[in-house]
């Protein structure tokens, strides 16, 4: 059944920003979306699609319809040596990860504990610890907002890039993802050479890690480094790591020998945005009700009662200071409304 009512979005976004949605429609089955489309509800001028709200910064009330994806269900099938796991869009991403880890299906363990739903995972091609969604992506099903038609997207059609996909580009605002399928293996090819994974494995005296070990280690590192949104509002990394021409990265390296950068392919380098922000003196800084996290300057936080506008203004000040010091333009990763 479709239920529509004005609602505060405070508990539906991990920044904990208190804005109102004129209408909120909780979707627990794909048929409800089709019904909403037939009734013209999806024509709302400010239609906003919400999963777990872990990548949104709300700066104003939503005068229109918010669709909240809460459809659940996980199924699997075997295709030769591979396992295809299909989850409804409203399943929590980490629940799907734990489903795979517990069954011994390798591929998503490095992506443990990323907040949000699986339906949102393709939007920015979520990534962590050297793995991106695209590495385990099989296909997805989505409904066209304009026609109500269900369409299957292959990996190629999703046009995945670094924290990018076709759904942030040419098809922005045109589809609602209803389910996502992942392709996993039972023979593990583990990725441990990224971030602090190896260091933590060593601390635990683990020489031959299992899928479960990696998942636990990644979860542990994340809990120790990142603020828990249930106590301190945040949306993870607020900015993307800038990818610049390798020549520019080299020039920066000469001026700032400690700069953190990694090859990004095609003559480009990725700079660690957290380092750039930290060097501008922002790490752990408190500005009114907002600030940056003490253990990772890339994460902007709501220390309590912050408005979206305050957080946005802080992000602008950070962008300006990084531009002035390094000549590098930071781009917001978080979705703004």
16 belongs to the binding site for ligand FAD (CB under 6 A): no
Q: Should residue 123 be labelled a site residue for ligand FAD when binding is judged by CB under 6 A? A: yes
Among 21, 36, 226, 252, binds ligand FAD (CB under 6 A): 226
Q: Could you give the string, one character per residue 176-215, with x where binding to ligand NAP holds by CB under 6 A and - elsewhere? A: ------------------xxx-------------------
Using only C-alpha atoms, the chain has a radius of gyration, in whole angstroms, of 20
According to the binding rule CB under 6 A, does residue 129 interact with ligand NAP? yes
The tokens describing 70, both together, are 């809460």
Among 52, 107, 274, 291, binds ligand FAD (CB under 6 A): 52
Collect all residues with Cβ–Cβ distance below 8 Å to 218 and sequence separation of at least 6. Answer: 109, 110, 111, 112, 113, 128, 129, 197
Contact between 239 and 298 under an 8 Å Cβ cutoff? The reply is yes
Q: Which of 237, 261, 315, 332 is catalytic?
A: 237
Stretch that binds ligand FAD, among 46-54, 152-160, 280-288, 304-312 (CB under 6 A): 46-54
Shorter beta-carbon distance to ligand NAP: residue 56 or 153: 56
Query: Is beta strand 48-50 parallel, antiparallel or unpaired with respect to 62-69?
Result: parallel
Interface with ligand NAP, residue 241, by CB under 6 A: yes
H/E stretch holding 96: helix 93-103
Q: Are strands 56-57 and 261-265 parallel, antiparallel or unpaired?
A: unpaired
Annotated catalytic residue 200: no
Quick one: tokens of 322?
A: 């990084």
Instruction: Look at residue 51 and give the partner it binds from ligand FAD, ligand NAP, none, a contact being a CB closer than 5 to 8 Å depending on partner kind.
Output: ligand FAD
Catalytic residue, candidates 44, 54, 163, 332: 163
333 carries an active-site annotation = yes
Instruction: Give DSSP secondary structure letters for 3-65.
Output: -EEEEE-GGGSTT----EEEEEEEESSHHHHHHHHHTTGGG-TT-EEESSSTTEE--S-EEEE
Question: What angle do the packed helices 93-103 and 211-225 form, to 10 degrees?
Answer: 150
The tokens 């880890």 sit on which residue?
101
Catalytic (active-site) positions: 163, 237, 333
Q: Which residues bind ligand NAP (CB under 6 A)?
A: 127-129, 194-196, 225-226, 236-237, 241, 260, 262, 270, 272, 274, 296, 333
Q: Which residues bind ligand FAD (CB under 6 A)?
A: 14, 49-56, 69, 89, 114-117, 119-121, 123-124, 126-128, 176-177, 226, 229, 234-236, 335
């Amino acid at each position: 059944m479709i239920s529509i009512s004005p609602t505060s979005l405070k508990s539906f976004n991990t920044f904990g920003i208190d804005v109102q949605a004129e209408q909120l429609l909780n979707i627990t089955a794909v048929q409800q979306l089709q019904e909403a489309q037939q009734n013209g509800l999806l024509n709302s001028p400010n239609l906003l699609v919400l999963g777990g709200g872990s990548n949104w910064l709300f700066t104003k009330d939503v005068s229109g319809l918010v669709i909240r994806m809460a459809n659940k269900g996980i199924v699997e099938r075997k295709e030769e040596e591979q396992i295809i796991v299909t989850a409804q869009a409203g399943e929590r991403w980490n629940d799907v990860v734990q489903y795979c880890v517990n069954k011994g299906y390798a591929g998503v363990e490095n992506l443990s504990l990323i907040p949000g739903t699986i339906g949102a995972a393709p939007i920015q091609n979520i990534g962590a610890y050297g793995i991106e969604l695209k590495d385990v992506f099989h296909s997805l099903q989505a409904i066209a907002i304009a026609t109500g038609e269900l369409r299957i997207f292959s990996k190629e059609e999703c046009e995945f890039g670094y924290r990018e996909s076709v759904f942030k580009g040419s098809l922005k605002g045109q589809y609602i993802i209803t389910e996502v399928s992942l392709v996993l293996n039972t023979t593990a090819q583990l990725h441990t050479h990224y971030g602090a994974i190896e260091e933590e494995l060593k601390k635990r005296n683990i020489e031959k890690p299992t899928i479960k070990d990696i998942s636990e280690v990644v979860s542990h590192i994340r809990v120790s480094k990142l603020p828990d949104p249930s106590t301190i509002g945040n949306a993870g990394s607020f900015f993307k790591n800038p990818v610049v021409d390798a020549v520019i990265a080299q020039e920066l390296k000469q001026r700032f020998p400690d700069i953190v950068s990694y090859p990004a392919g095609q003559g480009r380098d990725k700079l660690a945005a957290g380092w750039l922000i930290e060097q501008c003196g922002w790490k752990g800084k408190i500005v009114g009700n907002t600030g940056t996290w003490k253990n990772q300057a890339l994460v902007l936080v709501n220390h309590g009662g912050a408005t979206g506008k305050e957080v946005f203004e802080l992000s602008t000040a950070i962008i300006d200071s990084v531009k002035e010091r390094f000549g590098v333009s930071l781009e917001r990763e978080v979705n703004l409304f």
